[in-house]
Structure 1
């Protein structure tokens, strides 16, 4: 297990972003764990999170020219990750532009729904997780409409979870569906596999190992 993935799981736990217990998630399922990236809500925590994003992107080898953050969570993520990339040793001082969208068009000033650098070249979409892929689809449309190329999606956690009701589960996870539909890679800082590895190697959290494994057996890919 790469140390960065292990460190990220520990970091998410320390920040209260990753928790274990019983949680009703958006799909209506009862999950034995919950990941809420909105709880990265301080300068230090978002700064560290951005370093993880930057490392995952650089380690992926995917070529990119800029970042795009879909409103709303993608806005601080694209901003902070752009800063982290500017300070990443592998970037050799390269300055990465970023942009994000508004939910509603601005009727005054420069107008429009886009803020930041002009969308051009190979664009990485950055968000926290992929649940249904709706945000990615909207982002792809915006990027292509500007004449740029969506080059990949960068997320914090891949839940590796199939969509659909229990009696008609999809054969693929939301992440796999997005990658297949848009023909581009989805890069994650960590995944459910990394969470399980952490549980298996941490005696303090061993009590949660069985419930997470059972959940993955039922819904995972």
Structure 2
């Protein structure tokens, strides 16, 4: 990997009101929990983020507000939204509804895991893929969904331009079962050439816990800090 990818995580956290509100929202919904959880990479993580628990209309609508605000604040330009199967499908749909509510009506498409062999056929549903495409997903662990989405978008003649996720775990990715010194987000940004924005990052979660200052929060902060010390990237 290129030396252009920054791997330090020594910088002091900065306050991000939108990110802090999102962390609180995720905790209130039970989407973000503390404990001991095994990740895809086989690590024992002290926290777990399960976007599938944004599981009713009110939660999904509020989530879409967070996505829309972060995307608009980022200044990322795009012509349409793509939601990769499966979690990206409702996220993308909710996002375009919220963007339209704010006066920005954009087309939306998503893919099927398996191509349909009847009716309209094919593996894509929704508007034709064209122009600069914004990919929406929940988290990015290995960048697999992003790479698959990029291939689909390019095959349709459109331009994969940016990715927006809910939470950037800011931790090392794995390749062939081995830790590497960059995250999936860094890989997608630096090597696949896409803009990436996240509603919140692990550093925002740590900042939130530090600001709360309760005994339980301090214990969670200590565990998350130790995990980040071992696996974290910026």
For the aligned pair, the TM-score class normalised by the smaller chain equals over 0.9
Shift of 1:128: 0.3
Pair 1:6-2:20 in alignment: yes
Point out where structure 1 has 5 or more consecutive residues left out of the alignment. none
Pair 1:214-2:226 in alignment: yes
Shift of 1:58: 0.5
Q: C-alpha separation between the residues in 2 aligned to 1:58 and 1:94?
A: 10
Q: Per-residue displacement from partner, 1:30-83 (whole Å, max 9, x unpaired)? A: 111111111111000011001101111111111001100000001000000000
Task: Normalising by structure 1, report the TM-score.
Answer: 0.95
Q: How many residues are treated as equivalent by the alignment?
A: 216
Q: C-alpha separation between the residues in 1 aligned to 2:49 and 2:80?
A: 27
Task: Normalising by structure 2, report the TM-score.
Answer: 0.89
Query: Between Structure 1 and Structure 2, which shows a larger proportion of helix residues?
Result: 1
Q: Per-residue displacement from partner, 1:185-208 (whole Å, max 9, x unpaired)? A: 111000000000000011332221
Point out where structure 2 has 5 or more consecutive residues left out of the alignment. 1-14
Pair 1:133-2:153 in alignment: no
Pair 1:120-2:120 in alignment: no
Higher RCO (CA < 8 A, seq sep 6+): 2
Over the aligned positions, Cα root-mean-square deviation in angstroms equals 1.3
Name the structure 2 match of 1:48: 62
Secondary structure of 1:136's aligned partner: helix
Secondary structure of 2:230's aligned partner: helix
